[in-house]
């Protein structure tokens, strides 16, 4: 039952607060530069919330963490000198550890080793439940964005690989507020590296928003690409199914097989297609959703190009778009094949219906001929029955007249019956006609 929560308003809907607070469900962290964010996104299929809760309780100072705090799918835990953010989604769970940047990894360092220095400890990180989908070391450093050796120092910090970079956002003076650099490569430690450079006066809230957009961008990119192997694996099956459908259509056109044989082939083909749709429909829908989120996060970065350097948006356009086009084309191909099977089934049903109608017509003709014969037989029987009835009536009259003669009345029984014979025949015929008229009346 709804409760009255304000003396100025009617009773609240039971979901009003939950829906209203959804906009605040996953607030970005406040990140003080310089900082290191170690981020891991894991596929959570078969992983229960209780397993993740048990692992989070291993963090120092959180042994008494209650399971109920994980029901909202978002949790930020504060530990000594670092924070851990837990977020559970439909297909994956992500963990973000925000900590101080190690001293040896400051701006100008040469490929600093970061994995052994994660604040939660390597054992806790390796024990996370699930399968790793994305793992990122995001360094957020203070630097002079106008420095001429900016790219060289970034290359040294990130390691070998072609650098992608762009300036982000516009300040009130029309300048960029930060710079993002990465090479989208997985290092020997299993992590990708990203680097955000910003002026020292960058606010903690802005740094938190930038980090969240970048981490989500890479996570959604990888999740969107999960539809590509599915599309490639379906290609052979779709080609085979299309060829089989063409063969069935040819047989249907040439009437080379019986209707039952064609129906069995179509049912088998339709079952294969429906199974593929049921198994992979969610993956294709999820791919579209993740691709849309990638586009949104790129738009939120408000990238500005650096001369001679490919931006993240250009990289996504050149690399991600063809993969998404392949997935979408496969999805449409599967839907088109299902529709074509449906049309072929409709053609076969039409042919079966026409054959059935022809058979019904032949049957009706046979029934009509039978009814005609039955009617003729009935007329013949009725004629004979009129003669029989007339004979019995005449016989009864003869007996009656003989009785009257024996009683003493002066007339000839045979002569009297002979005179009444036409009247008897007419009476019997008229009685037959009345019965027919009664049977033919609409309200009979």
Tell whether 4 is covered by a domain. no
CA distance 46 to 124: 20
* The two structure tokens encoding residue 424: 């008897």
Last residue of one domain, picked from the residues 362, 385, 412: 362
Tell whether 389 is covered by a domain. yes
Question: Is the pTM of the predicted complex or chain greater than 0.85?
Answer: no
Is residue 53 located within the same domain as residue 161?
yes
Are 183 and 310 spatial neighbours (Cβ–Cβ below 8 Å)?
no
Tell whether 221 is covered by a domain. no
Last residue of one domain, picked from the residues 329, 362, 395: 362
According to DSSP, the β-strands at 178-186 and 164-168 are antiparallel
Domain that holds residue 116: 26-202
How much is the pLDDT for 135? 96
User: What is the DSSP code (8-state) at residue 141?
Assistant: E
Is residue 110 located within the same domain as residue 168?
yes
Is residue 357 located within the same domain as residue 386?
no
How much is the pLDDT for 361? 84
Q: How many domains does the chain have?
A: 3
Is residue 293 located within the same domain as residue 343?
yes
At residue 95, the 3 state secondary structure works out as: strand
How much is the pLDDT for 257? 65
Tell whether 53 is covered by a domain. yes
Closest CA to 312 of 226, 225, 223, 218: 218
Q: Can you give the CATH number for the domain in which 274 is found?
A: 1.20.58
Is residue 168 located within the same domain as residue 33?
yes
How much is the pLDDT for 122? 93
Is residue 284 located within the same domain as residue 345?
yes
Tell whether 267 is covered by a domain. yes
Q: Rounded to an integer, what is the distance from CA 357 to the centroid of its chain?
A: 39
How much is the pLDDT for 2? 47
CA distance 140 to 162: 20
CA distance 140 to 204: 11
Cα-Cα-Cα-Cα torsion 197, 297, 229, 130, nearest 10 degrees, comes to 70
Is residue 326 located within the same domain as residue 402?
no
Is residue 274 located within the same domain as residue 411?
no
CA distance 310 to 185: 15
Is residue 327 located within the same domain as residue 300?
yes
Is residue 175 located within the same domain as residue 62?
yes
* The two structure tokens encoding residue 382: 């009725």
Last residue of one domain, picked from the residues 202, 237, 260: 202
Is residue 187 located within the same domain as residue 320?
no
pLDDT < 70 regions, the chain: 1-5, 170-176, 256-257, 442-444
Closest CA to 54 of 64, 43, 45, 40: 64
Tell whether 212 is covered by a domain. no
Is residue 409 located within the same domain as residue 304?
no
């Amino acid at each position: 039952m709804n409760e009255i929560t304000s003396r100025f308003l009617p009773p609240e809907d039971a979901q009003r607060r939950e829906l209203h607070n959804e906009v605040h469900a996953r607030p970005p962290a406040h990140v003080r530069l310089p900082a290191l964010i170690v981020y891991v996104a894991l596929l959570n299929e078969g992983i229960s919330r209780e397993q993740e809760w048990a692992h989070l309780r291993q963090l120092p100072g959180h042994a008494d963490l209650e399971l109920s705090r994980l029901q909202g799918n978002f949790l930020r835990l504060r530990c000594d000198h670092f924070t851990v953010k837990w977020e559970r989604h439909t297909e994956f769970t992500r963990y973000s550890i925000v900590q101080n940047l190690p001293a040896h990894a400051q701006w100008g360092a040469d490929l600093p080793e970061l994995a052994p220095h994660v604040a939660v400890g390597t054992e806790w990180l390796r024990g996370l439940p699930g399968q790793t989908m994305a793992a990122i070391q995001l360094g957020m450093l203070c630097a002079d964005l106008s420095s001429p050796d900016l790219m060289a120092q970034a290359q040294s910090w990130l390691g070998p690989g072609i650098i992608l970079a762009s300036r982000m956002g516009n300040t009130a003076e029309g300048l960029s507020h930060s710079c993002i650099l990465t090479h989208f490569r997985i290092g020997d430690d299993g992590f990708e590296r990203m680097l955000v450079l910003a002026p020292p006066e960058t606010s903690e809230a802005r740094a938190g928003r930038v980090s969240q957009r970048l981490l989500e961008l890479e996570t959604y990119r990888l999740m969107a690409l999960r539809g590509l192997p599915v599309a490639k694996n379906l290609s052979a099956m779709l080609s085979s199914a299309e060829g089989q459908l063409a063969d069935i259509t040819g047989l249907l056109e040439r009437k080379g097989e019986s209707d039952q044989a064609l129906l069995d082939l179509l049912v088998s083909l339709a079952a294969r297609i429906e199974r593929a749709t049921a198994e992979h429909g969610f993956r294709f829908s999820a791919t579209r959703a993740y691709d849309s989120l990638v586009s949104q996060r790129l738009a939120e970065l408000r990238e500005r190009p650096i001369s001679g350097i490919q931006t993240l948006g250009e990289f996504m356009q050149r690399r991600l778009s063809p993969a998404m086009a392949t997935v979408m084309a496969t999805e449409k191909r599967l839907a088109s094949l299902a529709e074509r099977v449906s049309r072929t089934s409709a053609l076969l049903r039409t042919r079966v219906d026409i054959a059935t109608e022809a058979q019904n017509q032949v049957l009706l003709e046979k029934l009509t001929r039978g009814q005609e014969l039955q009617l003729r037989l009935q007329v013949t029987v009725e004629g004979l029955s009129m003669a029989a009835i007339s004979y019995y009536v005449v016989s009864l009259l003869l007996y009656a007249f003989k009785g009257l003669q024996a009683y003493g009345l002066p007339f000839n029984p045979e002569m009297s019956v002979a005179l009444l014979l036409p009247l008897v025949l007419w009476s019997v015929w008229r009685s037959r006609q009345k019965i027919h008229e009664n049977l033919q009346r609409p309200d009979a």
